[in-house]
A and B are shown apart, each in its own frame.
Chain A
């Protein structure tokens, strides 16, 4: 048994941290979050060319480096720490995983090298205006078959849906319900009949779009109609990725709170000497460290692709969602008035924490899913 990162993994973390500290300081986050696109194409290219981040866990046969979810988790934790504004989660954690889970070898060979090279921005469009995260939320129907497949309907909350070049859409075969008839389809961003509308997100550091499809031509990915297991797995993997991203942000807000509690003086004492503040920080540490344990373990289960994945994915998503939001909320409280200002970064993390908590299903949703998965 060994629950630690290897020296090589720690080196990866150091390299990513150094890069992100240089490329994604707070001023840059604030600049990009005000833009519609929400990312810097030059940095995106550097991420691929200098560090190979987009290709990290893509198999070598498809232009990737063949690392695992453990390395991917490290990268996401570092990105969460600085609130990196980039279409990484959508491209790598959603679209690439979906393609890996459902695509034929030929389709993977066609779609993945562009992602690995940082040339393709991709996303997964599965949620709809009903806001459901499970199979029952997918109502969009695919008409026709093969090259003659068309999609009509709407997808909501699509991360980076307005900037992606390639959109993997989840739809169902006509007349099916629940987990039956689910299929994946690839749509080009400039396809005829597709209207992409950026959404005004509370968390401006992660962009979303609404996609309206009106008879859009789509290419089936894998075996349309039998896609539920692949979608379920993709969502589990994405939940693990998000949990790792969340603990990065949670650690950062804990650090901010502790730093401030040491220097902010009231009643003639640093406020961190008051138990009211000290105990909040202690509870935050407990939750952040526990969140890391869960997120890291889940990343290992995803890397192993073992039978534990569904349980630990929901477990990690549930726990880290609550832990991050709690830490981000306490961070504002500990900072007092200054923590409520637009200038202070506390609100950026608070908003990211809340949107990440909701994304892919909140803690309540995942606890119920977990209850089902462990047979309660």
Chain B
């Protein structure tokens, strides 16, 4: 047990710091970490920044070298993300492409598919979105009804996806579709890759309670994609879709902790300025949030050690998403409390622009829902970690 960098880790950290110091300047530095959920600030500048990351292979650092990556291990990825957060660099754009689709592609894609898609992700020429949820398939994802039928050399896709983050910015969608007619549940699904820029795809922004619209509805009406744009076997896409969710639930939170710690620091400063820290309840709450964000760090380090040692995630990994989303929601509530009566007002004026406290307070309500709601996370922990029996399921009405 030792929480200091090894010599190799320290050298890598120096390299990352050096790169950031050299490149994070001028308009990029001015962004000051902005962007992210519910904040599309300075989109074009962030695209330029992301391209710099891709050019020097920080975007895609985990990929094998033959596909343009650095073959960086988990520890290096975490060190990079730590330094990135400490440097207050702009919020990343390629979460879905680099974070979710690329690992799935590397695990299930053909060599041709990898060579077709990975370079475009790294060059930030193609952004991706995730076509999973539907109006009738939220937590019950296997109830997907969007259909795809092979018509000669192309799939024809019909149906509706919802809560599709950044669909209005994306060039491609990785999309769970029902390809076996008459199939039910997780059978008969395929993991299709569908281009967004075509007449058969309509993206409608879905305005959220934050007032912003990063989520969308996506309507497929005879949308088309080439027959080879399937990841894994046709009709056997469920396990591919689940692999993506594994990436989503698994490692992402390792690097989030520093951003959360910064938000807590901001809140403490705000509370002190306002004199709220004289209130013993506010003091308890701020200290409790500090405990929580530190434990997030400790849990992350334990999980990382487990990953490096065994290549698989221990039980502490499954608690990550439940932990951070609950913590962040509470931080939002505590931020509003610290504002007192001013919590009722938006200091940004008309237009429903949100300051940081209101943004966290409102947007965090989504976080215990998306990427597997807290209730689904508890089922996963209960069944897969603790080995508790599954709930007997009612047969689907169409089974």
Contact = CB atoms under 8 A, between A and B. Distances in A.
Q: Is B truly associated with A?
A: yes
A237 B322 CA distance: 31
A28 interface: no
A108 B390 CA distance: 58
Given A315-B290, A376-B268, A283 B378 contact: yes
Contacts of B344: none
B276 to A, nearest CB: 10
Nearest to A269: B392
B386 to A, nearest CB: 5
B304 A319 contact: no
B391 A273 contact: yes
B319 A1 contact: no
B197 interface: no
**Chain A contact surface mostly:** helix
Interface stretch (B61-69, B88-96, B121-129, B280-288): B280-288
A300 B75 CA distance: 20
A133 interface: no
Interface in B353-399: 375, 377-379, 381-383, 385-392
B171 interface: no
Contacts of B377: 282
Given A3-B3, A4-B306, A282 B291 contact: no
Contacts of B277: 371, 376
Contact of B378 (A1, A278, A290): A278
A1 B295 contact: no
A332 to B, nearest CB: 18
A262 B382 CA distance: 11
Contact of A370 (B271, B290, B305, B378): B290
Contacts of B286: 371, 376
Contacts of A364: 284
A296 interface: yes
A278 B380 CA distance: 10
B1 A282 contact: no
Nearest to B385: A285
A318 interface: yes
Contact of B387 (A258, A300, A370): A258
Interface stretch (B4-12, B179-187, B219-227): B4-12
Nearest to B314: A289
Contacts of A270: 388-389
Given A275-B391, A281-B382, A376 B304 contact: no
Interface in B1-28: 1-6, 9
Given A1-B301, A272-B382, A275-B378, A293 B316 contact: yes
Nearest to B9: A1
A18 interface: no
Nearest to A254: B386
Contacts of A70: 1
A285 B386 CA distance: 8
B294 to A, nearest CB: 6
A279 interface: yes
Given A290-B323, A297-B3, A376-B277, A279 B391 contact: no
Contacts of A374: 287, 290
Nearest to A290: B295
B328 to A, nearest CB: 15
B291 A318 contact: yes
B381 A4 contact: no
A3 B375 contact: no
Given A4-B1, A367-B284, A376-B283, A286 B322 contact: yes
Interface in B127-157: none
A289 B309 CA distance: 18
B299 to A, nearest CB: 5
Contact of B389 (A6, A269, A279, A289): A269
B382 A278 contact: yes
A319 B316 CA distance: 16
B295 A293 contact: yes
Given A6-B1, A293-B299, A376-B283, A272 B388 contact: yes
Nearest to A258: B386
Interface string B292-334: 0011001101101110010000011001001100000000000
A270 B388 CA distance: 9
B45 interface: no
B302 A3 contact: yes
Interface string A1-34: 1111110010000000000000000000000000
A278 B379 contact: yes
- With a 10 A CB-CB cut-off, give which of B272, B287, B288 has the most chain A CB atoms: B287
A339 B377 CA distance: 27
A368 interface: yes
B287 A1 contact: no
Contacts of A274: 391
Interface of B: 1-6, 9, 75, 268, 271-272, 277, 280, 283-284, 286-288, 290-291, 294-295, 298-299, 301-302, 304-306, 309, 315-316, 319, 322-323, 375, 377-379, 381-383, 385-392
28 contacts: A1-B5, A3-B3, A4-B1, A262-B389, A269-B392, A273-B391, A274-B391, A275-B375, A275-B378, A278-B391, A279-B378, A281-B381, A281-B386, A281-B388, A290-B298, A290-B299, A290-B319, A290-B323, A293-B298, A296-B302, A300-B1, A315-B294, A318-B288, A367-B291, A368-B283, A371-B284, A374-B290, A376-B277
Given A1-B305, A5-B1, A290-B295, 19 more contacts: A1-B301, A3-B3, A3-B301, A3-B305, A269-B392, A273-B390, A273-B391, A277-B388, A281-B388, A286-B322, A290-B298, A290-B319, A293-B302, A294-B294, A315-B295, A319-B291, A367-B283, A371-B286, A376-B277
5 pairs of A and B residues whose beta carbons are closest in the complex: A278-B382, A293-B298, A272-B388, A282-B378, A282-B381
